[in-house]
Amino acid sequence: MSKPVSALMGAAYDGIVRVEECGLQGMITLRGDLASKPVIAAATGATGQEMPGQRRANVAGESGLCWMSPDELLVLVPHAEVSAKLAAMTTALGDAHSLAVNVSDARAMFRVSGEHAREVMAKLAPVDFAPGAFGPGDFRRSRLAQVAGAFWMEEDGSFRIICFRSVADYVFKLLKVAAQPGSAVGVF
Amino acid sequence: MLILHCPYCGVDADETELAAGGEAHLKRFGPGSSDDELHGYLFARENPKGVHLERWRHASGCGKWFHAARCTATLEVFGTYKAQVSGPPQEIRDAISARRPGWSWREFS
Ligand SMILES: [Zn+2]
């Protein structure tokens, strides 16, 4: 059995923020009626987190639920547990009209932390990152320069970012450029 | 720069997050329709200077299709509304009327 590795093997960069690839993260796409009991049971049962509201993320460590659209959640679980969690979710979903699929290996995850984290994000996504407009637990699907990306803010003010694995190197380079020493704008 | 409110995820989305989807409320004519009907469905499009109804997709966002009512001359946005309708809802018609009294667009007014 080959050993799974993340897209950038945990690469990191220190500039006006710290940028690090988070390593392996289990991710399950769950689609269905987010108000239906089987979907709620599958999502909350897999993560121990409550259902997130619109554009919110309830995440603790490697487990959590992210609101992707009115009929889609991203379910975060430890990478080693994906298969078991997915099987339990499929059982919980039963014959409810829904879909749950393991997308872990199609994705990469980054963390951006430090005093200027909002600024670095604001350079790359067309999103209002002002403190009153985007805070801890807020989640957004958007773009990072030219590619799709999703991100949320954690309690400590850092961001976690998800992108497709195929563009992980591009996103890491974007973040590095946006975090170059001396590039702080001081807008927030 | 156009900013449209996505009725599905609630974001005021920058144009760069959106994909234009052409004219709204087209009625499809397929097998069994006349040549004129198919021709109209495939090729005949409104090209107004003023009120226009369009389809947009929150492509770099929640991914959903929705509708927008806006002015092609001033880029004023009268409102956005969900995709599961075959015409603009009353509150959108009222919002257009408040700004462009007497407007009409295809069979809507
Ligand atoms: Zn949206």
For chain A, 188 residues long, give each residue's pLDDT as a single digit of tens: 689 999 999 999 999 999 999 999 999 999 999 999 999 999 999 999 999 999 999 999 999 999 999 999 999 999 999 999 999 999 999 999 999 999 999 999 999 999 999 999 999 999 999 999 999 999 999 999 999 999 999 999 999 999 999 999 999 999 999 999 999 999 99
Which two structure tokens, joined as six digits, stand for A91?
């059982």
Which residues have CB under 8 Å from B43's CB, separation 6+? Answer: none
pLDDT for B1 beyond 90: no
Backbone angles phi, psi at B34, to 5 degrees: -80, 165
Q: Is residue B43 part of a domain?
A: yes
- CA separation for the pair A19, A6 (Å, rounded): 15
CA distances from B73 to B12, B44, B51, B108 (A): 21, 21, 8, 19
Residue A2: per-residue pLDDT: 82
Residue A145: per-residue pLDDT: 97
The answer to whether A16 touches A75, Cβ cutoff 8 Å, is no
User: What DSSP element (H or E) covers A40?
Assistant: helix A37-47
Whether residue A56 lies within 8 A of chain B, CB to CB, comes out as no
Backbone angles phi, psi at A59, to 5 degrees: -130, 135
Q: How far is CA A75 from the centre of its chain?
A: 9
Q: Is residue B105 part of a domain?
A: no
Rounded to two decimals, the pTM is: 0.94
Q: How far is A30 from chain B (nearest CA, A)?
A: 14
| CATH code for position B38 | 3.30.2270.10
Q: What angle do CA B16, B20, B21 make, to 5 degrees?
A: 155
* Parent domain of B29: 3-99
Give the model confidence (pLDDT) of B30-82 as tens digits: 999 999 999 999 999 999 999 999 999 999 999 999 999 999 999 999 999 99
- Kindly list the residues from chain B whose CB atom is less than 8 angstroms away from the CB atom of residue A140: 11
Q: Is residue B109 part of a domain?
A: no
Q: Which domains, and CATH codes, for chain A? A: 12-178 (3.30.1360.120)
Number of domains in chain B: 1
* Cα(A164) to centroid(ligand 1), Å: 19
- Pick A54's closest partner by Cβ from B10, B14, B64: B10
* Complex-level ipTM: 0.92
* Cα(B55) to centroid(ligand 1), Å: 13
- CA separation for the pair B98, B78 (Å, rounded): 9
- Pick A69's closest partner by Cβ from B8, B13, B17: B8
- CA separation for the pair B51, B14 (Å, rounded): 21
In terms of Cα–Cα distance, which of B105, B1, B109, B21 is closest to B66? B21
